[in-house]
Amino acid sequence: MLDFRGFRGRIGLLGKRLNPISTEVLIIGAGPAGLFQIFELGLLGITSHVVDSLATPGGQCTELYPDKPIYDIPALPVCGAQELVDRLMTQAKPFNPQFHLGQEVTELTRLDNGRFLARTALGTSFDAGAIVIAAGVGSFQPRRIGIEGAEAFEGSAIHYRVKSAADFHDKHLVIFGGGDSALDWTLDFAPKSASVTLVHRRPEFRAAPASVARMRELADAGRVRYLEGLAHALHTEGERFAGVVVKDADGALHTLRADHVLAFFGLHPKLGPVAEWGLELEKKALKVDTEKFETSVPGIFAIGDINSYPGKKKLILSGFHEAALAAFAIQRHLYPQKKQFLQYTTTSPVMQKRLGVNG
């Protein structure tokens, strides 16, 4: 069960300092299931805030296979994964969801009044009547550079994403990776930084061929240095970060002096904080019932790839069905006195008003 220890003190502090955002529902995860949850709640007149640790909505579809076609979305014989996300965003738009992207929900606690307090790694906090965990296979984290002592310089000299490009202008940079992020930033920084060295572990790149060709042109012209190899060690001068040592395919070591290292090794999902909220787990997923898709804690629901129940299939359409049923259960949880009845979007003036159609 959720841990209530030391709880009041923390709420008081958070409440004063951070003014939690009050919302009917907080959705954790903006993958396809979380995005459709906004819509299903919206049809019932319930508003939501949505948090995702990624900088853009879409979950696995956007992060892992945006250009791939999906063939098993009902009534869409073929649909690009990013296109599906764009369509879900358009469908959710009438309900004006508030997105909080690039921040992981790290804390979730149940308040004495039955509401929930959630907090992100960036310090945003929410006071929510109900929670929907649509966290998929977990929150995506950057793959780290994996050399001893690197943690001490993460955020100052070693980076896994570019928050502000201007910070890297006129600086000596070493960029690791062979995907689009590594190549795009190499090309972008080449004319703006003091020097750019691109390091990739093998001759084949995952990045767009045109970007690779352009990088090779710049390397031939001496405006970018390209090295095939792996990060081997930090290069420090006393306590100070001074660059990185790279081991090439022949085992030779190269000391690359740099102000900053940017490593783009892709992202990997991590169940992470969800596993620490005291909810009953089954095979690294949240156990739910199939009537309400509620977890072991009343008021906390779980939909999409994150949940587990007999017969569960990790498919997008399963997440959509779960979102519909969870919406009704959330309405009952928030407003137990309210009479519930099924309405069709085709004929319901109330729903059509909420959707902003038919005047």
**Binding region for ligand FAD (CB under 6 A):** 28-34, 51-54, 59-61, 64-65, 70, 72, 104-105, 134-140, 272-274, 304-305, 314-317, 319
Return the closest-CA partner of residue 54 out of 160, 125, 152: 160
CA 29 to centroid of chain Cα atoms: 7
Residues 6+ positions from 149 with CB-CB distance below 8 Å: 234, 236
Is 78 or 208 the residue whose CB approaches ligand FAD more closely? 78
C-beta of residue 139 within 8 angstroms of C-beta of residue 53: yes
Is 111 or 271 the residue whose CB approaches ligand FAD more closely? 271
**Nearest approach, Cβ of residue 357 and ligand FAD (Å):** 26
**Nearest approach, Cβ of residue 64 and ligand FAD (Å):** 4
Please spell the DSSP secondary structure of 279-294, one letter per residue.
Answer: --EETTEEE--TTT-B
240-248 and 225-237 strand pairing: antiparallel
Is 257 or 268 the residue whose CB approaches ligand FAD more closely? 268
3-class secondary-structure state, position 94: helix
**Nearest approach, Cβ of residue 33 and ligand FAD (Å):** 3
Is 205 or 320 the residue whose CB approaches ligand FAD more closely? 320
**Nearest approach, Cβ of residue 47 and ligand FAD (Å):** 19
What is the spatial distance between Cα 105 and Cα 53, in angstroms, rounded to a whole number? 7
**Nearest approach, Cβ of residue 305 and ligand FAD (Å):** 4
Is 60 or 181 the residue whose CB approaches ligand FAD more closely? 60
Angstrom CA distances, 130 to 117, 199, 261, stand at: 10, 47, 42
3 bridge partner residues: none
Is 139 or 193 the residue whose CB approaches ligand FAD more closely? 139
**Nearest approach, Cβ of residue 35 and ligand FAD (Å):** 7
